[in-house]
Amino acid sequence: MKAWLARPSAHVISGATVALGVALIHLGAVALAGPAPAAWATSGAIFASLADQPGTPARAWRRIVATGLIGIASALLVLLLAAHPVALGMVIAVLAFGSTLTLAWGPRAGPMSFVPVLAMVFTMALPHDTPPLPWLAAHLAGAAAYLAWALLCLGLLRRRYATLALANALQAMAELLRRRAALLAATTEDGDAFQRAWVVQEGVLAERLQAARDQVFSAPDDARSRREAALLLRLIDLRDLLLAGLLDLDRIADDPAGPAWRAWLAQALQQLAAQLQASREALRGVHPELSSADAAAPPPPVPTEGALAVLGPALQGRVTLLGAESRRIGELAAGGAEEDLPLARAELRRFVAPEQWPLASLRAQFTLASPVLRHALRAALALGGAYALALALPWASHPQWLVLSVAVVLRGNLEQTLARRNQRVGGTLLGCLLVLALAWRPSTPLMTVMFLAAVGIAHGFALERYLLTAVAATVMSLLQAHLAQPALGFPVAERLADTLLGALLAWGFSFVLPSWERRALPRHLSRAGTALRDYARHALADPPEDSSAQRIARRQAYEALGAIGVALQRAAAEPARVRPPLAELTRFLDLAQRLMALLSMIRLVRSRGRVEASDPALQAALRDAEAALQQGLDPKAAVEPGPPPRPPASLPEADPLPWLLWRLQLAGRVAAQTGLAARDLHRALKQA
């Protein structure tokens, strides 16, 4: 039982608290004011709840207030214009445009962008004679009550949310290890697919790490938060160790023992992934035991000649280091002794994402080159057109449902639109079947309970399992319409027809002012080049840096490459005629990741103090490498690199200086290759 109670994820807990809060507000309003005002107050609470995501009270309350007020204002406009279809259609288009434009502030504005749509759906279901002032007062009271509830729950659950965010980051890192293992074991024919899967997971890991930073680094300073901060810092560094540890594998491609060593490395990474997964479960309060199948296999024999004669011991040492880091992460996850942090608490808070909402971000979108503006215009046309079409349909008793179907399916890119289309249709079908089961023996109390449960499920799984959200949203909308006007029954057929038609309309409108990934790639490439040059300056600094500035530069480089990885994933779903050159894009990412690995290896070797920092040869090599990287990463200045430098013949453990000098030369060469790949991509995108 204890293990079961420890398993709920953050989104499940969040959905449960939302459902409970809305239920308490509904019951309280029924007791104080009666059924109709209670329904209005419940709507106000639901509007405010959209922004209630796992986090801290200090970061959440402004979002909850803003989202609640935006929802109430949107609903009031719809209520006042309910008897004027033409004016209401114009308002729907304007609200769709304005709400979508808020995505200029990034994914955190997602609830704000959706609340006007939900407000339209709820309000259009009301009778036309609903009195505006009592309605407005009840909505404001419901939103205010929910704000108090949300702050109470966030305060009580703050530590749990931080722990679960850290657990999610551990899971993402474990999956990254598995995908890298799959890439090592892949055949030549499957290599590109596994490479892209690895790149996509890099983007997922970047998002999970930032979510963990926002929670863990902003926590109060105590023993538990210091231990979790230490775990997160080690997890962040583990990605560097992984990249650095897999360097030089191209040198064993033609070695007869190469396949055996690659298979051993793949098995070692799978075992490390299992250890991280166990650490995740330990954080959540579950303590699984690793099975005997998870035990590390011995490495193959080291050949007496060839590349593996030198690299074999080095690869063994790197895997040993990865294992040691993984075990230390496991000890911290299990509540082991805390350790000194390399950064002070004030420095850690520099890594927390800002909470500001600058108007400059909105102003920057007013150009047709902006994907946000194009999506906002597309949404306005789609939702306004859907409402006009709904009025002309023979079953248009609930025109808001067609508007809702278009709004939830139409995303900013084709890949997400296609995924939402399929999940929305399937979820609506399942939701209608559930409502038909409820209608078999109708019970108002039971339907009220199911409505409130659907609110929590729709909220909790919106970002994790949208199919469940689609099921819950269907139940919620059908029951909300029935509870508001019981005489109309359960219009299941209309709901299905509106969903199918809405999914078709959203898919069609996704080709209106489309935001193909190739449009944004030049900006992503420029950002990545700038971030890589900045990280190179910090990684090659003399004396070596281990400051927050270096870590911020490293994070920005990973995030910039992660954005390109996401673009690569989305572009694969686009029509071939507009798709960017995927092979060239994959090559650029592969080279950029290799450069990050080299910079990480250089930084790690220098930080261990096994080379004399004042050595004249090293200082000269650092200056040359810095100049080579800055030039090579500039697509306009990059030139064809010369032949690769010859690696040292000695073992790295015996004398690390020759290896460090070699890697500095190699980093300059890979930077030039990366810059040339970026230049080729720019040219290909202009010709497309």
Supply the DSSP symbol for 524: H
Judged against a pLDDT cut of 90, whether residue 385 lies above it is answered with yes
The pLDDT, as a whole number, for residue 377 is 95
Please, are residues 54 and 15 in contact by the beta-carbon 8 Å criterion? no
For residue 453, count other CB atoms closer than 10 A to its CB. Answer: 18
Whose CA is closest to 141, among 53, 256, 236, 43? 43
pLDDT at 572: 84
Give the model's pLDDT for residue 358: 86
Within 10 angstroms of residue 26's Cβ, the number of other Cβ atoms is 23
pLDDT digits (tens, 9 = 90+) for 121-163: 888 888 878 899 999 999 999 999 999 999 999 999 999 999 9
Residue 221 CB coordination number (10 Å): 12
Q: By percentage, how much of the chain surpasses pLDDT 70?
A: 95
Name all contacts of 378-381 with Cβ < 8 Å and 24+ positions apart.
Answer: 378/410, 378/509, 378/510, 378/512, 378/513, 379/96, 379/97, 379/99, 379/100, 379/407, 379/410, 380/93, 380/94, 380/96, 380/97, 380/100, 381/93, 381/509, 381/512
Condensed to tens digits (0 to 9), the pLDDT of residues 510-535 reads 999 998 888 888 889 999 999 999 99
**pLDDT of residue 235 exceeding 90:** yes
In this structure, how many other beta carbons lie within 10 angstroms of the beta carbon of residue 612? 10
**Predicted local confidence at residue 197, as pLDDT:** 80
Q: Are 287 and 335 in contact (CB under 8 A)?
A: no
Structure tokens at 520: 């944004």
Q: How far is residue 661's CA from residue 231's CA, in Å, rounded to a whole number?
A: 32
Quote the CA–CA distance of 309 and 435 in Å, as a whole number.
68
- Count how many Cα atoms sit within 13 Å of the Cα of residue 153 in the half-sphere of its side chain: 24
Q: What is the mean pLDDT of residues 485-506?
A: 83
% the chain with pLDDT above 90: 37
pLDDT band at 292 (very low <50, low <70, confident <90, very high): very low
Question: What's residue 196's pLDDT?
Answer: 77
- Distance separating the N- and C-terminal Cα atoms of the chain: 58
Question: When comparing pLDDT for 290 and 18, which is higher?
Answer: 18
Question: 123 to each of 74, 99, 410, 612, how far by Cα in Å?
Answer: 9, 17, 22, 72
Nearest CA among 306, 291, 228 for reference residue 260: 306
DSSP code string of 571-602: HTTS-TTT---HHHHHHHHHHHHHHHHHHHHH
Res 288 pLDDT > 70: no
| Separation between Cα atoms, residue 17 and residue 460, nearest integer Å | 9
Measure the CA–CA gap between 137 and 37, rounded to whole angstroms: 9
Q: Is 464 helix (H, G, I), strand (E, B) or coil?
A: coil
Phi and psi at 220, nearest 5°, equal -60, 150
454 in Cβ contact with 476 (< 8 Å): yes
Among candidates 38, 22, 43, which has minimal Cα distance to 153?
Answer: 22
pLDDT at residue 135 in the model:
93
Give Cα 530 to chain centroid, integer Å. 22
Least confident of 362-366, 420-424, 477-481: 477-481
pLDDT at position 361 is 87
pLDDT of residue 3: 44
Which 3 state secondary structure label does DSSP give 610? coil
Q: In terms of Cα–Cα distance, which of 179, 205, 206 is closest to 193?
A: 179
pLDDT given for residue 8 in this prediction: 78
Task: Pick 258 or 166 by higher pLDDT.
Answer: 166
Contact at 8 Å (CB) between 56 and 69?
no
Question: Which helix or strand (DSSP H or E) is residue 513 part of?
Answer: none
Scan for tokens 């530069």, then name that residue: 553
* Predicted pLDDT of residue 4: 42
Q: For 335, left (φ over 0), alpha (ψ -120 to 50), or beta?
A: left
**Integer CA distances (angstroms), 148 to 61, 134, 151, 219, in order:** 9, 21, 5, 21
Residues 6 or more apart whose CB falls under 8 angstroms from that of 204 comprise: 172, 175
Residue 104, H or E segment: none
| Residue 383 burial (C-beta neighbours within 10 Å; 0-12, 13-18, 19+) | buried
- The larger pLDDT score, comparing residue 69 to residue 648, is at 69
Lowest mean pLDDT among 355-369, 380-394, 638-652: 638-652
Residue 545's pLDDT is what? Answer: 66
Give Cα 243 to chain centroid, integer Å: 21
* Token pair listed for 398: 């609930």
Distance set, CA 198 to CA 22, 211, 568 (Å): 41, 20, 11
How far apart, in whole angstroms, are the C-alpha atoms of residue 332 and residue 275?
Answer: 13
Residue 397 in contact with residue 106, Cβ under 8 Å? no
Lowest mean pLDDT among 196-200, 282-286, 393-397: 393-397
Q: Is residue 104 within 8 Å of residue 361, measured between CB atoms?
A: yes
- Band of pLDDT at residue 442, cut at 50, 70 and 90: confident
Q: State the chain's mean pLDDT as an integer.
A: 86
Q: List the single range of 48-52, 166-170, 489-493 with lowest mean pLDDT.
A: 489-493
Q: Is the peptide bond before 543 cis (omega within 30 degrees of 0)?
A: yes
pLDDT (tens digit per residue) in 13-48: 988 999 999 999 999 999 998 888 998 999 999 999
What per-residue confidence (pLDDT) applies to 5? 43
- Asked if 675 contacts 638 with a C-beta cutoff of 8 angstroms, the reply is yes
Residue 293 has pLDDT above 50, yes or no: no
